[in-house]
Structures are given as C-alpha cells and as structure tokens.
Amino acid sequence: GRITKIFITHFHGDHFFGLPGLLCTLSLQSSPDPNRPPVDIYGPLGLRSFLWRSLELSHSQLLFPYAVHELVPTHDQCPAGEFRDFSHWDRGELPPQGPGGRVLQLGPGESSYLLEEDEQLVLRAFRLFHRIPSFGFVLEEKPRPGRLNVQKLKDLGVGPGPLYGKLKSGAAVVLENGVRISPSDVLGDPIPGRKVCVLGDCSGALGDEAPRLCCGADLLVHEATLDDTQRDRARERGHSTPSTASDFARLCRAKRLVLTHFSQRYKAGAAQAGQGDVEVAEMRRQAESALEGQAVAVTLAEDFMTIDIPVKK
C-alpha cells in the first residue's frame, strides 16, 4: 500500500501483464482518501490505453487515482521489422475521468527522458535495444549539504539558531555587523546521494547516455538471461549474459551488480531455496571473472530480495 511509483520497462507480457492485478490488489488494501496523490506509472507509449481498457473491461474501480506517463520510443530501439507505432491509439477516446499523465519524448539533442525532479530526487529513463523497445531507469538522490562547521560560525560570532538552518539549506546570511557569510564558507563538501539503476531486457544500451547516467551507481540491476556460452543466442534474442552485464557495470563504475531475469533452464528456484544450483552459481562466476580486479560485488537476484543501500556519511 506504500507504493507510489511503478516502472514498466517494455511490453513483453511477463513484464506488464500483471499491472492491472497489482493495482487492484493495492486498491483492496487501501481506504478511500480524496487527498491521496495519484500512483505514477511510467512505461512505453500505449501503456495508458492498455491499463484503462483492462480496468474498464473488468469493471475494476480503484480507490485511488493513477497517472500514466508514457515514453515515446525511437525506431532504433529494436529491429526495424518489430517496431510498432502506437501514437494514434485511442486518440480522443479516453473519457474525461480517464487516467492523466504526460507523454514524454526526446527533443533535439536529448538522449534521456526526465521523469521527475524535486529537491531530493531525480528520475530519468534511457533507451535500450531489445526485440521491442525497452527502457532503463535511474533513481538518483541529489547531494546533501556538507557538515556545518559550528566552531567557525562561533568564531564569526554566530551562535546556534535560525541562521544555521538557512546556511545549511544553501542560503547566504548577513550578520548585524554587515558581514556576509556564504554556505561555502562554513559547509563541508557536499555528501553524494545514492543512485539505483535498473535495466529492462536488452542486449545493450543505445549511445553514451546510459553509462553517463549510471556512472557511480550504488546498485545496478541488469538482466542476464543466458550464460556466456550462449552469448550469440542471447544477442539474437535481444538479451544479455553475465559478462555483458559486467562490461556495463565496469563502464559505469557501479559498486554493486545484481543479475536477474535468468532463463528457466537455470532453475533459479533451487538457488533461491539455498540449494546452490550449479548452473546459477556459474552465472555469478562468469560475472565475477569478467570483473576481475574491479571492486564490484555481484549478487544473484531472488524473489522478494531486499537490498539495503546505506545513506552516505
């Protein structure tokens, strides 16, 4: 019930068919609240129509509003024969009470989509190559102000009080004696925020924007559908292998790599149960081998896994 944002990477059924059911489950766990902000859902163009029609056909009424923000893909995100243009779907058909949201497309010279930005967080999406257009997402905290040098402030004749808060928030202050104090005079270096990057199904990212956006990621989630011995087959199907994921992790200097989306041939359930399935363990070994000499921790994803990313001090 605490979910406020949902990200859909692409339109293969195993990645988005469950969305209407998830929203209905969230609604069953909710209480009517006219002041509740909408659940923001981000995904490829066409998602708003799919979701609205699914809920209408099933006569499902949610106890909360939702907004669908659609990403307009580019033709080079998939093989030419697989691209579908959904830009004219349901144009003007959605009723006034239908879901709101924005349509986001790349402008001239742009290579990523700005989804949201506030004082604390920036959310962006970037393009991936797959059998159909796919996207990756970056959630990045903005740097926090450095530690306040209290002793220096006392030396300047400033005792604890409201001025401390103003300086900490980045505003300069002027003392009664006319002395002006800038935040940079009394604050330490900014404290970097955390960064989480999640890539949808892909055989690679388009252009140089993805490594730049993911640079220094505290957590990088990357698919590894097949092992390295199946590299050609993986590429043909628009997927990645452990070494493909490791190459991207090295390129963007990620601190932790989580491999996911394993083919059923690797019996991921056995590994999740702690039985140490050999084939799944091999996926980790291949990734670690490709990252030899790099300080990158490799983890195999499990259902319901929780990963803590400590706040930086």
| Catalytic annotation, residues | 14
Is residue 71 within 8 Å of 116, Cβ to Cβ? no
Alpha carbon distance 179, 51 (integer Å)? 59
Tell me the backbone φ, ψ of residue 284, rounded to 5 degrees.
-70, -40
